[in-house]
Each structure stands twice: as C-alpha cells, then as structure tokens.
C-alpha cells in the first residue's frame, strides 16, 4: 500500500513549564499541509526500511522503531518492507520523521490485520515521539502535555501557505533549541486559547489567524540564527507578510494574500539560496486515519 505522510506547521506553540520527566509542558495548535513523504508498505519475510538517503535507512529511522513497537503490541514478528520517498526536508521543524512513523503505524496496522483503533495506535505513538500521535489524525488539532495529548479542532479551510527552507543545518536541533529556552519564553497558554476560540467560532478570518500565530522558539531562533531575522525583515520591507518559525525551526512560513505575494517572497529571498514553496492546508479526511478510510 502507499500512504502519504504530511508535514505540519505550528499555528501556535507555547511552552508552559518544565516537567518532572525532563520534557517541557507545551500547548500547541498543529496543522497539516500538503507537502508529504510517500511510504510504500508491502509484505516481506523480515523488516526492512529503505530510503534514498542512506542515513535515514535501516534501524536508525523512527519508522523502524514504530514497526517493532507495533509488532510487540500485536505479539507478531515485524515483517514488512517499508520504502520512504522523502519530500519533507529533514530537520526543518515540519515533523517529517514523526509523520513517517505515524503513517507506518497506520499502514502496518492494516497490513498485519491487527485491528487496533486509532486511540490504541496513539498509545504506541506516544512512546515514539511527542509529535507522532498528532499525525495519526492530521488536520487541525490541539496538542498538549509534551505534545502527545491530541484534541481535534474545526479544520481550517484550504489555505495557501508559503514555506521557506533556509540553507541552514542545525545538529541536534530540537534538544539544542529547548536547552536555550528560559522562563522569559514561557507563557500561560492564552494565545492558544484565543486561537481555539477563533477556530471554533465558525467564521474563518484569515487575517485573524495570521495575527495570532506564535512560537516560543522565535526569540531563541532569532538570537541563534541571524540569517532568519534578515530574511524575514527583507520580506516585510518589501511589503510582504510577517514570517513565522516552523516548530523549532529553522524553516519559516507565512500566509500569503495571493499568488502574486508568494511570488514576491520568492524573488526577495532568491539571493539567500532558500527554497520557497507554495503549499496548502489539508483536512483530516486527507491525512492520518482518513487517508486509509478513503
């Protein structure tokens, strides 16, 4: 079978406090977009995970761990061939690895005839990584705890999104960015609650959504990677919209008002050797469990 593993944005990302387990308490609204990896899953006599990028193949990929952990739950051998075709840039804050793992759980649950519910799969996903549970549903959702507690929200309508991939490679990025957070970047979840009120009011206003986008890592990223500040400033000085951080970065995104505005961003950022792509938000029926039911 073939499964699409969609990327995500964080419309809000608030860090509330430290946790006793070493993680941070977060509240975040996540949204899938139609940039996606492709997983091919088929029967095999043993477990193999293949990818065109050698460092993402084999047992170092989170997909391998997803397969072995799911097989333990089903009390079976994790026999399958999984081929990953990467389209989501690695290490940019778009959740590609987590999305791949969730897609593997969904596909293998069907291939192996385990019959587990999505809530049961979420228990496995929570042990794999903070974002994995979200991708079992996709669409628009609130994630709490360390990111594994998912509450679905009214989906956004199809909405154009400009994604910017800077020419930056950040080793051990997520842990590094979290280590740089101080209490000055902590908040009380109020921005996320405002966004939820807006999304549940039933009257979508693109400008209001854009005005509430927030990311606790923004200050840390600006201090650590001045290139991001320069790129964002040049877009705004050209009359473009404010750029926002994707997850822990370094990718940026914004909600362009038109195809023409997106094209202006492409032109402004051309000297920075950044990849600039136009994507769209996608609803739950196209992602996660919905992709296997359609």
Rounded to the nearest angstrom, the gap between the alpha carbon of residue 53 and the centroid of all alpha carbons in its chain is 20
pLDDT by residue for the chain (294 residues), tens only, comes to 999 999 999 999 999 987 777 778 899 999 999 999 999 999 999 999 999 988 899 998 999 999 999 999 999 999 999 999 999 999 999 999 999 999 999 999 999 999 999 999 999 999 999 899 999 999 999 999 988 899 999 988 889 999 999 998 777 888 888 888 888 899 999 999 999 999 988 766 778 888 899 999 999 999 889 999 999 999 999 999 999 999 999 999 999 999 999 999 999 999 999 999 999 999 887 777 666 644
Q: How far is CA 53 from CA 15, 50, 99, in A?
A: 33, 8, 17
Q: How many domains does the chain have?
A: 2
List Cβ neighbours of 127 (8 Å cut-off, separation of 6 or more). Answer: 69
CB burial of 255-288 (b: ≥16 within 10 Å; e: otherwise) equals bbeeeebbebbeebbeebebebeebebbbbebbb
Q: Are residues 166 and 250 in the same domain?
A: yes
Q: Are residues 84 and 199 in the same domain?
A: no
How far apart, in whole angstroms, are the C-alpha atoms of residue 111 and residue 4? 16
Q: Are residues 140 and 174 in the same domain?
A: no
Q: Are residues 120 and 237 in the same domain?
A: no
pTM comes to 0.93
Name the residue range of residue 82's domain.
2-154
Of 129, 154, 179, which one is at a domain's C-terminal end?
154
Q: Are residues 195 and 91 in the same domain?
A: no
Q: Are residues 95 and 70 in the same domain?
A: yes
How far apart, in whole angstroms, are the C-alpha atoms of residue 84 and residue 280? 22
> Would you name the residues annotated as active-site residues?
8, 131
Of 126, 154, 182, which one is at a domain's C-terminal end?
154
């Amino acid at each position: 079978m073939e499964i699409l593993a969609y990327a995500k944005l964080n419309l809000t990302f608030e860090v509330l406090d430290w946790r006793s387990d070493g993680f941070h308490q977060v509240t975040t609204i996540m949204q899938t977009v139609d940039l996606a990896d492709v997983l091919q899953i088929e029967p095999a006599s043993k477990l193999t995970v293949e990818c065109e990028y050698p460092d993402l193949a084999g047992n170092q990929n989170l997909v391998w761990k997803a397969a072995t952990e799911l097989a333990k739950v089903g009390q079976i051998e994790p026999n399958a061939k999984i081929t990953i075709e990467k389209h989501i840039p690695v290490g940019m804050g778009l959740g590609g690895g987590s999305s791949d793992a969730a897609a593997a759980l969904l596909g293998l649950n069907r291939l192996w005839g385990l019959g587990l519910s999505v809530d049961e799969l979420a228990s496995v996903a929570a042990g794999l990584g903070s974002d994995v549970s979200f991708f079992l549903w996709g669409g628009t959702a609130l994630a709490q705890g360390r990111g594994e507690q998912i509450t679905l929200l009214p989906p956004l309508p199809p909405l154009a999104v400009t994604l910017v991939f800077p020419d930056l490679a950040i080793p051990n990025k997520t842990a590094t960015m979290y280590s740089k957070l101080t209490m000055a970047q902590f908040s009380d979840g109020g921005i996320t609650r405002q966004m939820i009120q807006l999304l549940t009011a039933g009257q979508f206003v693109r400008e209001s959504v854009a005005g509430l986008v927030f990311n606790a890592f923004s200050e840390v990223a600006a201090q650590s990677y001045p290139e991001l500040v320069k790129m964002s400033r040049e877009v705004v000085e050209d009359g473009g919209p404010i750029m926002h951080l994707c997850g822990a970065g370094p990718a940026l995104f914004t909600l362009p008002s038109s195809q023409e505005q997106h094209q202006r961003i492409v032109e402004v950022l051309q000297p920075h050797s950044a990849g600039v792509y136009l994507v769209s938000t996608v609803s739950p029926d196209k992602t996660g469990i919905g992709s296997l039911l359609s």
